[in-house]
Amino acid sequence: MTQFVYTSALSADEWGHWLKDDAELMDGLDGACDRVAYSLGQNHQALAALALNDAPFGFTWDDVDLLHGVAYRAAQKQVRSITPEQYEALADLAGRIAALLPPRKP
């Protein structure tokens, strides 16, 4: 199975900085979006991660774990209806989503 490696959208310190200001971001979203966009520049991955964080349409570590679980079971031939290309795509999708999430909470 191909191993996909993605760089996290934000470091743990950056997540801490932006999540600390989360209440302020939600109070004045229009101005805050401009401030975040200016601070992050062309880092569109970081902007996407912050936009999806805690949003009802966003992703969670449970989603990543589910995708990895299905991909692993398919790779072990426990799920016969998924082709090798499909389980590689699931693992790839899980990696891309994980790159948009803040660090796991202990």
Write out pLDDT tens, residues 50-95.
778 777 888 999 999 999 888 888 777 777 777 878 888 888 899 9
Q: What integer best gives the mean pLDDT of the chain?
A: 76
Q: What is the model's pTM?
A: 0.69
pLDDT beyond 60 at 30: no
- DSSP string covering the chain: -PPP----SS-HHHHHHHHHTHHHHHHTHHHHHHHHHHHHTT-HHHHHHHHHTT-TTS--HHHHHHHHHHHHHHHTTS-TTS-HHHHHHHHHHHHHHHTTSPPPP-
